[in-house]
Chains A and B, each alone.
Chain A
Amino acid sequence: MSVRVPLPRWVDVALLPILNVVLAFLIGGLIVLSVGQNPLEAVGYMIYGAFGYGSGFGYTLYYTTDFIFAGLAVSLAFHAGMFNIGPEGQAYVAGLGVIIVALLLNGLHWALMFPLMITAGGLFGAFWAFIPGYLQAKRGSHIVITTILFNFIAISLMGYVITKILKPAGVDSDESAPIQAISRVPQLREFFALFKNSPVNLTFLLAIVALFFVYWLVWRTKFGYAMRTLGRNPTAARYAGISSSRMIMTTMALSGALAAMVAVNNVGGVQGRLILNFVAGAGFVGVAVAFMGKAHPVGVALASLLFGALYQGGQELAFSMPGITREMIVTIQALVILFTGAMGDMLRIPLEKLFARWQRTAGGG
């Protein structure tokens, strides 16, 4: 019933998403306020913790690395019209691929080991995403449900593998044998003293490469064209002779391979071993990152940095303000998904009215 005037492009791609994110944080702030804590003080601690000193910044970039990969995984599937909620499980299973190759060739120089870890982890992650893709393409099982279920199965599977197979005798904690130092992905502090004792490693550069790769793949290749056609209009894809089953399976495998790099970052770059539940929610953050970044690599990069800062800042916060737990970040994550994803148009209508009025006064004056 309302007269709808399309918004200027900059409002659509920049202002609206930013306002949505701001709204999510405002509500997060109100929740913090409601338990009697000062949100501004909390933000102060978080900013300091995330960017205020070298190793804090290093940790921020380390988390950012994880989130870029998980966010790209969700984004890529999204362009083909699928909602992959499974990066968590895909990254977890990929850890198995990374540790297998690392322990088999333990002692190999990292320059050789790094690509091998990427390949092996990528294959395992791709496989774990390929199955839901296959089930969707060939059996019609809904990808949202199957990727959720595969997260649960991954937990059981990896729990068994780590505690019953990989755990060396005489070790108490649930983890695999360690990878030798020479085989681990080198940390950036070896090149830049700035990062002190933070875990950010070469995988971060791989994440930057992945951002460019995904942009090229989606917008500059025939494959990406076919993928976007399928995502936007499956009937038109069929009309164009684009095989949806092949696209779904390939895209899911690629998506899983991207999520798998979270395992390279953690297992190969930081822990040097496979630890129970090492993904720790990074895959789920990818969902928020993808929505916030509108599935575009630039958006994903910015959103990942924001969440990286939140995670690192949240650590600092938990030390300085014991009343606030890190789970507040999960709440923020939920609010970001809600406001940028499901309620993304809430501010659109008032903004449209505002701009229509501006145009009228500008035109009439």
Chain B
Amino acid sequence: MMQYFNDLVLIFDSTVRLAVPLILACLAGLYSERSGIVDIGLEGKLLGAAFAAAAMAAVSGSPWLGLLAGIGVALCMSAIHGIASINLKGDQTISGVALNFLAAGLTTFLGQSWFHRGGFTPQLSADQRFNPITLPFAEQLKDVPIIGEIYWELISGHNILTYVAFIAVPVTAFVLFKTRFGLRLRAVGENPKALDTAGMSVSWLRYQALIITAVLVGIGGTYLSIAQSAGFNNNMSAGRGYIALAALIFAKWKPWPALLVCLLFGFLDAMQFRLQGIKFPVIGEVPVQAIQALPYVLTIILLAGFIGRAVAPKASGIPYTKER
């Protein structure tokens, strides 16, 4: 019994670790899509930020400077996306796809040019990374059955970025529904003309949303390379940006459901590692590829049938044109 409980706590623990980049990317997408900008480029931003953070941490030795670089790169990419989709009124999907290729190409190219390690950045030492934090009393409570164990394994012992991700959920819910900015953000994604005629700048609001998007996804990318791992490797975002986008659709663009869906996907990911190599009765060993594909297959099944009427913000994906 206790053995299963321990296993469960460990699985949930890795669920949390794997869900963090998804939560950050998903909330990032939430701000941008709520403002009416579709962001396929989350994947590229995660990757770009991961590379910048790892490169900066390796060069400067400081994870905080790494974080700053990660966010900086995400901001630059958001700026490109903003110019293309807000100022030039271009197609947001195409712009996002271009950003994903840009990140894939540049991270490898620059990585090789700068570090000559086949696209990898140098291995980071502990003080160049974000390390686990032990919460107060965790040590003392460690041996208390159940509660203490959950506190020690599941809640304590994560790095700061993990806590940022989880705090970002209630903060987003508050900003979205209880503040002036949130009201305007939701309005600009539904009917930008209502804001324009009330004398507000649609473009500026959308840029603000893109800035928040960049900060969150920048933290997410940083988490990948200098918190979860000890350096950058090629294509290390591995589709998480797309999964976050799918999670956002499931969650119907709401922060708390977004958290739940991201945890679910994180859980699937965690199970993937646990199930590898285990022989089941009758079906035998489940191929590793099947487990790898599961989140994608599940996403498609859900997209095809179970999300009900997920109504996107009405102005989503449509450039705002004032002139007739």
Contact = CB atoms under 8 A, between A and B. Distances in A.
Interface in A45-104: 83, 85
Contacts of B103: 334
B108 A330 contact: yes
A342 B289 CA distance: 35
Given A31-B106, A145-B242, A148-B242, A337 B88 contact: no
A177 interface: no
A337 B290 contact: no
B105 A160 contact: no
Interface in B66-96: 80, 83-85, 88-95
A135 B106 contact: no
Contacts of B101: 284, 288, 330-331, 333-334, 337
Contact of B97 (A31, A85, A156, A159): A85
A149 B300 contact: yes
A337 B44 CA distance: 14
A346 B87 CA distance: 9
Contacts of A142: 303
Contact of A338 (B95, B304, B323): B95
Contact of A160 (B84, B239, B289, B300): B289
A331 B106 contact: yes
B292 A342 contact: no
A85 B40 CA distance: 12
Contact of A141 (B100, B114, B287, B300): B300
Interface stretch (A121-129, A250-258, A263-271, A321-329): A321-329
Contact of B290 (A141, A160, A344): A160
B95 A157 contact: no
A287 B245 CA distance: 21
Contact of B105 (A145, A148, A334, A341): A334
Contacts of B229: none
B297 A153 contact: yes
Contact of A157 (B104, B114, B289, B304): B289
B179 interface: no
Contact of A328 (B85, B90, B91, B109): B109
Given A149-B300, A160-B289, A330-B105, A342 B95 contact: yes
B125 interface: no
Contacts of B102: 331, 334-335, 338
B300 to A, nearest CB: 5
Given A331-B109, A333-B101, A342-B85, A141 B304 contact: yes
B113 A83 contact: no
Given A144-B40, A331-B102, A341 B112 contact: no
Contacts of A160: 287, 289-290
Interface residues of A, number: 48
B293 interface: yes
A330 B242 contact: no
B98 A342 contact: yes
Given A284-B101, A330-B105, A341-B90, A156 B303 contact: no
A164 interface: yes
Which secondary structure dominates where chain A touches chain B? helix
Given A341-B91, A343-B90, A344-B90, A323 B290 contact: no
A46 B83 CA distance: 32
Contacts of B99: 334, 338
Contact of B95 (A1, A139, A341): A341
B200 interface: no
A152 interface: yes
Interface string B234-273: 0000010010011001000000000000000000000000
A112 interface: no
A343 B84 CA distance: 5
A31 B110 CA distance: 9
Contacts of A150: 300
Contacts of B303: 135, 139, 141-142, 145-146
B245 A341 contact: no
A150 B300 CA distance: 9
A362 interface: no
Of A324, A327, A345, the most chain B CB neighbours within 10 A belong to A327
Contacts of B40: 144
Contact of B84 (A146, A331, A342): A342
B299 interface: yes
Given A31-B106, A335-B102, A144 B93 contact: yes
Contacts of B249: 145
B113 A345 contact: no
A333 B105 contact: yes
A340 to B, nearest CB: 9
A83 B93 contact: yes
B309 to A, nearest CB: 9
A179 to B, nearest CB: 24
A338 B80 contact: yes
A146 B300 contact: yes
A114 interface: no
A195 interface: no
B64 interface: no
11 contacts: A31-B106, A141-B300, A144-B40, A145-B246, A146-B303, A160-B289, A325-B112, A330-B101, A334-B103, A338-B95, A341-B91
Interface of B: 40, 80, 83-85, 88-95, 97-106, 108-110, 112-114, 119, 239, 242, 245-246, 249, 287, 289-290, 292-293, 296-297, 299-300, 303-305, 323
Interface of A: 1, 31, 35-37, 83, 85, 135, 139, 141-142, 144-146, 148-150, 152-153, 156-157, 159-160, 164, 284, 287-288, 291, 323-325, 327-335, 337-338, 341-346
* The 5 residue pairs across chains A and B that have the minimum distance between CB atoms: A330-B105, A331-B105, A342-B95, A334-B101, A156-B293
